Chain A
């Protein structure tokens, strides 16, 4: 059971928009930077969003994120079948002094 709560799965049609939520506490999301990761089992995870809402070079602007109080949200627009996979939020927890991932959300397009 992860301290950061994500929906287990989301789905939407190609071309549509989907949002993935990540709920935490003041000690983690409320106090630290949130990043988002994309992972297809058997491949290398990659960062999609860092510093709450910034995209690394090479990540299309279809991916965006926001943070509010103790929660964060990843939004993906113009969904493509290639976006299918698992999405994780991550942040530092100032109370336990450890990094934590959300439980992960499986996206089906």
Chain B
């Protein structure tokens, strides 16, 4: 059974960088058929896709975040990471990592981690 677990600081100061890691177990991020994704949900709002990384290292990002976001992978640790720079209060949200497969959608999700941007 594939499991994903988000980890990282729960509090980030405005203008600083939010960094989260997703550790994958029960499956390899090196597998060639999956994209490894980040999604967030601000309080009281809907799900927002942030971006994804493929096995090859190629990435796709939400257009409005392209200047601030980087998703990277570490196959040796079976982890992938999210970096969001110059954060503001609007970046306060529960952040989820998830596995995506073409046609299967986002089939496995982490439990989510709350990140608050505040001084």
Contacts of B98 in A (CB 8 A): 45
On whether A88 and B47 interact (CB within 8 A), knowing A33-B103, A33-B105, A47-B106, the answer reads: yes
A57 → chain B closest CB, angstroms: 11
A96 and B102 within 8 A (CB): no
Query: What are 6 residue pairs bridging A and B, where the CB atoms are less than 8 Å apart in the complex?
Result: A33-B105, A46-B109, A51-B104, A97-B60, A101-B49, A104-B47
A90 and B105 within 8 A (CB): yes
Residue of B nearest to A47 (CB): B105
Q: Taking the complex as formed, is A73 at the interface, i.e. its CB lies under 8 A from any CB of chain B?
A: no
Q: Taking the complex as formed, is A82 at the interface, i.e. its CB lies under 8 A from any CB of chain B?
A: no
Contacts of A100 in B (CB 8 A): 49
Q: Taking the complex as formed, is B74 at the interface, i.e. its CB lies under 8 A from any CB of chain A?
A: no
B109 and A45 within 8 A (CB): yes
Within 8 A of A (CB), among B27-58: 37, 39, 41, 46-49, 51-52
